Structure 1
Amino acid sequence: MKPTSLEEAVELTKKFTSRPSNEELLKLYGLYKQATEGDNNEERPGGFDFKAAAKHNSWLNFKGKSKEEAEAMYIALVEQLANTHI
């Protein structure tokens, strides 16, 4: 199945039978946030919340990309991951 929208790509990730790597999951998260909310202007999580910090940094990696560009990248990544996780 080839997703044609962000919503279809999100639905396809729910059909994955194996878990993508943490790196892949963070990239999906960052692209999704960029596609749906735009640039990350939130304050960096403090303390020892490493998971929140990693997610924050992943989203920051896509700063400056348009929502459309991030959505296209998200869809392409989901399509690539579907080959190995479905």
Structure 2
Amino acid sequence: MSLDEKFNASAEKVKTFTKRPTDEELLQIYALFKQATVGDNDTEKPGLLDLKGKAKWSAWSEKKGMSKDAAKQAYIELVEKLSASYL
């Protein structure tokens, strides 16, 4: 299975979680997914009142400089680790 196939399978597996991961885990899932699919965050930082948007923006920005392939691999590993607790 190629890296892209494993990544896509992991993205589908997240949707099957029966329990909700913690907020921090969700932010890491989001940040790695965005880094793997889009690359470095070059969007404008959300406003002060958008707390959820700011948290997501910050988590993604922390991954700056990580290659898409490295982000895909990290995403796959994180989903595998979390699936033991949430499936």
Length-normalised TM-score, structure 2: 0.92
Aligned position for 1:66:
67
Gapped regions of structure 1 (runs ≥ 5): none
Aligned position for 2:12:
11
Deviation at 1:14, TM superposition (A): 1.2
| 1:48 and 2:37 are equivalent in the alignment | no
Q: Matched residue pairs, number?
A: 84
Gapped regions of structure 2 (runs ≥ 5): none
- Percent sequence identity is 46
Deviation at 1:11, TM superposition (A): 0.7
RMSD between superposed Cα atoms in Å? 1.3
- How far apart are the structure 2 equivalents of 1:34 and 1:77? 14
Length-normalised TM-score, structure 1: 0.93
Displaced runs of 4 or more, over 6 A: none
